[in-house]
Amino acid sequence: MISVVIPLFNEEDNLKLLHEKLTNVLTTLNQSYQIIFVDDGSTDGSAAILAELFEHDTTVQVIHFRRNFGKTAALTAGFRYSRGDIIITMDADLQDDPSEIPAMLAKLNEGYDLVAAWRHQRQDPLDKTWPSQLFNRAVSFFSGLPLHDFNCGFKIYRRVVTEQIPLYSDFHRFVPVLAAGQGFRVTELAVQHHPRQFGVSKYGLERTIRGLLDFINVLFMTTYLKHPLRLFGSSGLLMFALGSFIELYLASLWFLREWFMVTVGPIGTRPLFTVGILAMILGIQLVSTGLLGEMLRYFTFQPEQEYSINKILQRGE
Ligand code: UDP
Ligand code: MG
């Protein structure tokens, strides 16, 4: 079974057309399917239209949030209530084209666990595409995952992916990174993208900034979460060593003057003195941060999160 999960927030003018286009495509697949609309606290006429769709189409399921919780939360709820082995997520604003679904499914069946749509000719205003492109380059570079478009809401997953990757914070755009980090096979497919016809975009520039901070978080979680002391401790030790070396040097100057009457100026007023002390304090702080990180990790440690099993060959009892 295929589950299509659609998060939406005030999309009244798009829903009917989306449902129609989607149904046209899904019925050609000869596979059972369900369409799950997750209404993220819409305040326009979306609820009434969803009620109508639910009334006339038995494949439709609707989840209404009490208020606006954000797209990530909507996706999480959609995953939780879906039953398909394959899950498709797409935006409700008709910018993603349902006619791409068969091609994306075919790509998935080449042996992937996640296929992300790549809007290679993205139809959005420049103030959105440009920061997004920068963001994509940075994420791709630092994560080592060669995708072009992380922000697109159009993706196809095998169910295991949605079950194993918890969507924390605004992490929906990092699922490919997190999934690849778990060893899932992730790829992309270039798709058509349309300009928004009805309704308004729910996001602005602040999303890029939030996305960047989230990315630092993701990088940390995927690469260093397991060894916080190694990350903070190594730079901390280095700092501390540097600071100690500087202070030792200054101290030896002091002894040279006091004991051997060598002429050197006062050391307490030298900038190097302050730099040395700063480096030592910073070093101690970095090591303590690493230790705190280890402590948190120790107390929240869950052995089954240390690996991701693909399959097990095993004889029955
Ligand atoms: N959306 C949502 N909750 C929110 C904001 C947006 O469910 O708080 C939905 C929105 O209705 C749309 C999708 O997320 O289906 C993508 O939003 P939008 O089209 O505004 O983003 P853009 O395409 O402009 O990046
Ligand atoms: Mg959109």
Q: What would the pLDDT profile of 101-135 be if each residue is shown by its tens digit?
A: 999 999 999 999 999 999 988 888 888 888 888 88
Q: Which fold has domain 2-223?
A: Spore Coat Polysaccharide Biosynthesis Protein SpsA; Chain A (3.90.550)
Average pLDDT over every residue of 302-317: 86
Cα torsion for 97, 99, 100, 106, to the nearest 10°? 160
Whether 123 is in the pocket of ligand 1, judged by its Cβ within 6 Å, is: no
Return mean pLDDT, the chain: 92
**DSSP per residue, 33-49:** EEEEEEE-S--STHHHH
Question: For residue 21, how far is its CA from the centre of ligand 2 (angstroms)?
Answer: 17
**Assessment of whether the complete model's pTM goes beyond 0.75:** yes
Average pLDDT over every residue of 210-220: 86
SS3 content of the chain, % helix, strand, coil (to 5): 50, 15, 35
Pairing of strands 186-191, 2-8: unpaired
Whether 154 is in the pocket of ligand 1, judged by its Cβ within 6 Å, is: no
Name the residue among 240, 207, 231 with its Cα closest to residue 135.
207
Whether 169 is in the pocket of ligand 1, judged by its Cβ within 6 Å, is: no
> Which mutation among 14, 91, 127, 169 tests ligand 1's pocket best, with the greatest number of atoms within 8 A of CB?
91
Return the percentage of the chain with pLDDT > 70, whole number.
100
